[in-house]
Amino acid sequence: MNHLLARSVLKHVIAAGNCGGIHLSSSGAAASARVFDGDSVVKGHGSSMVLIAWRRMMSTAAESSSAAVEKKSSGAASEKAEKDDVIVSSYWGVSRPKITKEDGTEWPWNCFMPWEAYRADLSIDLGKHHVPKTFIDKVAYRTVKLLRIPTDVFFQRRYGCRAMMLETVAAVPGMVGGMLLHLRSLRKFQQSGGWIKALLEEAENERMHLMTMVELVQPKWYERLLVLTVQGVFFNAFFVLYLMSPKLAHRVVGYLEEEAVHSYTEYLKDIESGAIENVPAPAIAIDYWRLPKDATLKDVIIVIRADEAHHRDVNHFASDVHFQGKELREAAAPVGYH
Ligand SMILES: [Fe+2]
Ligand SMILES: [Fe+2]
């Protein structure tokens, strides 16, 4: 009964909108509210929150009717001011604790947290190459070499654009593989051996490469169109490929990553020769890879290249596990390296 009363009161309060300084938001069965009274902010939950809102509404009913008349007369300007004044409610009334960097300044990112930042392993062997031996290896290798031709023709030595476009593709396989392993784990009531996490980490890491590259290169409208088309084709093609042969899918990614290492090495050569300006590193890259404050584009490309070499090894390893007739969950996944 109390629950019904509370719901009915809440319904009326929501219908009353934002009047009287009450800002409400509801999400499913849960609702949170902030009631403003002068400078003080009262946060509440559930029925206690509804009662506060109810009392506030009743006590200000007369004020709000006259305020409504005033509001009408003040026109569009006041409406805009009111919109600007709306505060996005916190998650269940709980605010995120203040997160600071090591130097004491506020953490500026919501897309990743300080504990997700890391230092890339720069000691990784950049020249490693998996020599194609089996038929599947050769198919994977030839496919990647074939895909490189249109990429070379389209971008030539515009490595900024090239990297940005390729990262939109590179972030897909990890997500597809991670998703399919997740579903497999659910279907088979089996653990994944950490591979779901490893592949999703790869996808997120690739996406952070893209977030970094777009700070440096602004995509043109036709490049955005190309991304849309390529993603539509590549996601579906890789999805079907992973269902049919994860061994081949991981091998293809392994070779794609070998190409990525090569492309970033060429990018570095152009920075060193002065053909590409060695601009300051974007702030997001400095925080994500824990780079020094005066880091440059060259430093960023060096750490991205190390990440690509790591993805290369992860995917060749995954393909090797399948090649030995085993399932990925039987081999410990390389988690936590990015
Ligand atoms: Fe990447
Ligand atoms: Fe990669």
Which ligand approaches the C-alpha of residue 310 most closely? 2
Q: Kindly give the distance from the C-alpha atom of residue 208 to the centroid of ligand 1, in angstroms, as a whole number.
A: 8
Which ligand approaches the C-alpha of residue 308 most closely? 2
DSSP string, 129-195: -----SHHHHHHHHHHHHHHHHHHHHHTT-HHHHHHHHHHHHHHHHHHHHHHHHHHHHHHT---TTH
Q: Kindly give the distance from the C-alpha atom of residue 203 to the centroid of ligand 2, in angstroms, as a whole number.
A: 8
Query: Does residue 152 carry a pLDDT above 50?
Result: yes
pLDDT of residue 98: 85
Q: Kindly give the distance from the C-alpha atom of residue 213 to the centroid of ligand 1, in angstroms, as a whole number.
A: 10
**Where are any strands of DSSP class E within the chain?**
22-27, 30-37, 40-45
pTM here is: 0.73
Proportion of the chain above pLDDT 70, given as a percent: 73
Q: Kindly give the distance from the C-alpha atom of residue 275 to the centroid of ligand 1, in angstroms, as a whole number.
A: 22
Lowest mean pLDDT of 46-50, 157-161, 278-282, name the range: 46-50
pLDDT of residue 75: 60
Query: Does residue 34 carry a pLDDT above 60?
Result: no
Q: Kindly give the distance from the C-alpha atom of residue 310 to the centroid of ligand 1, in angstroms, as a whole number.
A: 10
Q: What is the rounded average pLDDT of the residues 127-154?
A: 93
**Which of the two residues, 64 and 109, has the higher pLDDT score?**
109
Residue 303's CB is within 10 A of a number of other CB atoms, namely: 25
Tens digits of per-residue pLDDT, 221-265? Answer: 998 999 999 999 999 999 999 999 999 999 999 999 999 999 999
pLDDT of residue 186: 97
Q: What is the rounded average pLDDT of the residues 27-36?
A: 35
Which ligand approaches the C-alpha of residue 206 most closely? 1
Query: Does residue 101 carry a pLDDT above 70?
Result: yes
Q: Kindly give the distance from the C-alpha atom of residue 209 to the centroid of ligand 1, in angstroms, as a whole number.
A: 5
Which ligand approaches the C-alpha of residue 163 most closely? 1
pLDDT of residue 79: 64
Q: Kindly give the distance from the C-alpha atom of residue 218 to the centroid of ligand 2, in angstroms, as a whole number.
A: 21
Write out the residues surrounding ion ligand 2, Cβ under 5 A.
170, 257, 308, 311
Tens digits of per-residue pLDDT, 269-323? Answer: 999 999 999 999 999 999 999 999 999 999 999 999 999 999 999 999 999 999 9
Proportion of the chain above pLDDT 90, given as a percent: 59
Residue 41's region, left for phi above 0, alpha for psi from -120 to 50, else beta, is beta
- Reported as a pLDDT band with limits 50, 70 and 90, residue 193 is very high
